[in-house]
Amino acid sequence: MTAPMCDLIVVLPGILGSTLAKDGKLIWAPSAGAVLCTIATLGQSIGAMELPDGIGDEHPDDGVQPVGLMPDLHVLPGLWTANIGYGALLNWLRSRFHLIEAPQDDPDRFANFLPVPYDWRLSNRYNARRLKSIVEPALEKWRSQNNAFEDAKVVFICHSMGGLVARWYIDREGGAEITRKLITLGTPHRGSLNALEQLVNGVRVGLGPLALKLTRFARSLPSLYQLLPEYACIETPDGLVKTTEAQVPDLAVAMISDAMRFHSELDAERSDAYDLHPIVGFRQPTKTTARIHGGGVIPLDTIEGNDEGGDGTVPRLAATPARFRPDHRRSARRPSGTAPCKATEVSSTNSSSSSGRAASRIEWAGRPSSRLRSRNWS
């Protein structure tokens, strides 16, 4: 039997992975059985979700708040790919480890399992600071039970963009000291070509007037810009260049620059106080670079003639931070003096299955306390 988990387990979803409500009414909560209905009615609420120009790292005070993790399928055509929701992952964690949740009717209960929804429209910096205000009080409370828990730390399990939120909190907001491990599932550590294609080319043709609303909505999101590739991904006659070195059609130059600054600042800081474990998809055709053509971009599955694959959304080269290049199925090189980074590669159909398929590989997620092995857990 698995020993009781001493650490605090925090789960962060990816973009689109949190339900959102405005003034108490759900405005983003599609499920597998209601996707088409949601798309058909989305035009009624998309205006309420669009962000104002120059929002930066702030909240727009528009009444929109995160509610919970998306339980099953969620999709917004042209904005991001379909993803399996988090019900399966959360249930697996509950069944595999001795985790305690605080129910809604008993929020003061000691708990070490904390799924954290967030407003995925907003800057990853903003959501990282919000994460700090949630995680640190929760860990302090968990530790306060008795001496057996005084050494507890946080283990983050993050899907997709949630990994970027956690990294900013850990490395830029002081979270490294209390973090034991960061496990990322299909996180675009160096960005994703899909974000470039969707921002430039807009929502796919066929949705009529809603396409224009969705395209305008997508281009208002700092978070989606922060998913742009930070590596040189634009093919030119003179070689590959970064998005800041090319004239990218229809995108805000200031938002591109800020997104690249986000990545450079994130990569500049890497504490050795915690372990990073990216779980990386491979062997699937994955858009990696692009050519600018007319008023759009043409995505390519290759980089300098090489098809490196990926998980269908995140290219293999972008699935670990810039310092760590996965050159082996089980590990990644790391600079001398830095904390361990183990990149586990899993063959998957596409990124939409990464949160489910990777669940069985999180057996080393946290540190059970030897002092608790003989204790009764209730």
Model confidence pLDDT, tens digit, residues 209-254? 666 678 888 999 999 999 999 999 999 999 999 999 999 999 999 9
Q: Please tell me the pTM assigned to this model.
A: 0.86
In this structure, what DSSP letter does residue 353 have?
Answer: G
d(CA 213, CA 215): 6
Residue type, 139: L
pLDDT, residue 252, reads: 95
Predicted local distance difference test score (pLDDT) of residue 3: 60
Question: Could you give the CA distance from residue 77 to residue 62 in angstroms, rounded to a whole number?
Answer: 24
Residue 334 has a pLDDT of 38
Give the C-alpha separation, 70 to 88, whole Å: 11
Q: What is the pLDDT of residue 352?
A: 41
Over the Cα atoms of the chain, what is R_g? 20
* CA nearest neighbour of 183 among 202, 204, 162, 199: 162
Which segments of the chain does DSSP mark as H helices, in order?
35-42, 46-49, 87-96, 124-143, 162-172, 193-201, 209-218, 222-225, 253-268, 354-357
Which residue type sits at 69?
A: L
**Are 281 and 354 a contacting pair, CB within 8 Å?**
yes
- State residue 275's pLDDT score: 94
Matching residue, tokens 């998957």: 348
Domains of the chain: 8-372 (3.40.50)
Sites in the chain below the pLDDT cut of 50: 1, 32-34, 36, 82, 205, 327-338, 348-378
Please give the sequence-ordered ranges of beta strands (E in DSSP) within the chain, or none if there are none: 8-12, 18-22, 25-28, 64-69, 74-76, 80-83, 113-115, 154-159, 179-185, 234-236, 239-241, 275-282, 289-293, 296-300, 344-347
What pLDDT does residue 168 have? 98
**What is the amino acid identity at position 365?**
A
> What span, in angstroms and rounded, lies between the C-alpha atoms of 289 and 61?
36
